[in-house]
Amino acid sequence: MKYLAALFAVLFMSTLTAQTVTDSITFDPQKQLNAAQRLLSGNYASAVTVSAYAEMIYNQPEGANGELDVRRLVLLFGYRFNDQVQFVTEVELEHVNEVYVEQAFVNYNVAPNVNLRGGLMLVPMGIINEYHEPTTFNGTERPGVDNAIVPTTWRELGVGVTGRINDLSMMYQAYVFNGFKSTVSDGAGGADGLLGGSSGLRGGRQKGVKSTINSPTFSAKLDYYGLPGLRLGAATYLGRTQPEEEVDALEGADVGISMLGLDARYAYNRFTARGQFIYAGLSDTEAYNDLTGRDLGSALTGWYLEGAYNLLPADRNQKLFAFVRYESYDTHASTAGTLPANEAYDRQDVTAGLTYHITPGVVVKGDYQFRSNALEGSQVPNRLNFGIGVWF
């Protein structure tokens, strides 16, 4: 695996120095839009806009029954009150029977390239959390890093500012959010924990559902697009988790979070590449684990590198990408106190497959995942995946 990672690194860095040409709007990372950005772009004649995306997925682990799932259907609605003020919302149906509000915010354009936003919004960390529509990434499943480390889809309530600094070829975002919920009352004077070793921070997402807040968190991201075909991102997230009010005064009810994310996307002719690194340092986890009986690590790390090549002529409307992605992520990269690191949480995935864009907005995917972890004798089943995705 080390040799494979080194090969990807050399391939990825060598492409960054090559002269590039502009690819299509779908695959050029500098021009890529997510669903909300597209609704805010102003390229619609009507004040009311409607959009949607959906994923239907088949997973077949080795030695087990396969699973078919309508993973998600997301309905997007936007309304333009005038050229300065817009409203965007996404309503998500997961697994057919679960309904969530994924985004709901007001955007106010206060000056050229300066927007104020307030509501339920995506936390800008990594690539997939903001660009998770099925036609925007390779692989039937989202990367494991963006599940266990960055708990995609990660959204919270808050206010912030976004915009561009065109002279520096930079985009910026800065928000104040409520944080993860860490503990709830167990009904007996103690606390149950929502954060843990295997899934990291994922169980603490509040998703705008009667969100608890006792201290705000800060989130920011810068994107640089000054070189043709290349987009670089750097993000941070700082603050503390939010305990339920009944257990707020208990020692260990909350933990501190300092998260850093770096990402890169690149396109040259029929070749694309992307990479991502995430580090989350958590403080006060020993007291948290003592209080809740959980096994939350004090550091979570993850990274991946991916390369893809379009097998069809560049002038074709259809695209057929062959891709391979290597990723490594560990939710017990460090532990505090007497908690031993669980090597089963140190995971590695290699995903290889095809992504067939029948037309812009419709994709068929197939891939095979070689999955493993660092625990001696552990048998993690490899997995075959197929999927259909749409976005309009």
More confident residue, 224 or 2: 224
Percent of residues, the chain, with pLDDT higher than 90:
84
Confidence of residue 6 (pLDDT cuts 50, 70, 90): very low
Q: What's CA 12's distance to the chain center, in Å?
A: 21
Distance CA 281, CA 295 (A): 15
Render pLDDT for 27-83 as a digit per residue (tens, 0 to 9): 778 777 888 887 787 666 578 888 999 999 999 999 999 999 999 999 999 999 998
User: What local confidence, expressed as pLDDT, does residue 279 receive?
Assistant: 98
Domains, in order of start, for the chain: 2-391 (2.40.160.10)
pLDDT at 325 exceeding the cut of 80: yes
User: What local confidence, expressed as pLDDT, does residue 44 receive?
Assistant: 62
Render pLDDT for 240-276 as a digit per residue (tens, 0 to 9): 999 999 999 999 999 999 999 999 999 999 999 999 9
User: What local confidence, expressed as pLDDT, does residue 3 receive?
Assistant: 39
Render pLDDT for 160-176 as a digit per residue (tens, 0 to 9): 999 999 999 999 999 99
Report the predicted TM-score, pTM, of the whole model to 2 decimal places: 0.90
User: What local confidence, expressed as pLDDT, does residue 45 receive?
Assistant: 59
Mean pLDDT (whole number) for 4-26: 37
